[in-house]
Structure 1
């Protein structure tokens, strides 16, 4: 099995709440949080791009509402 290279998000501060990303190939993106490094979310560039665009546009704001 290949060793994954993880990069820390530039938006993550020092401490425990860090987001890491790994792209082992052009079709796969893996995300993990420093608090739960064994829990890995796998997606693809198209889906991640759509999530980021929708979050930036505020289309997901209702998900945080009580």
Structure 2
């Protein structure tokens, strides 16, 4: 997002399939007063101690790339 702003973007929309509140809070903290439209398909409850999305998705990257059994 910062890359896009540095290159002159004036309106940015971030489209996400899934997010957790902790990730959204981190994004908000990182961006400060920058205005970004965020479109979510779903917002999960939280992350657990392993930073896995609760309830039950696990490590989406591992599942996506087939590195879990």
TM range, normalised to the smaller chain?
Answer: under 0.3
TM-score, structure 2 length as denominator?
0.26
Whichever structure has more strand as a proportion of its residues is 1
Return the structure number with greater relative CO, CA threshold 8 A, min gap 6: 2
Whichever structure has more helix as a proportion of its residues is 2
TM-score, structure 1 length as denominator?
0.26
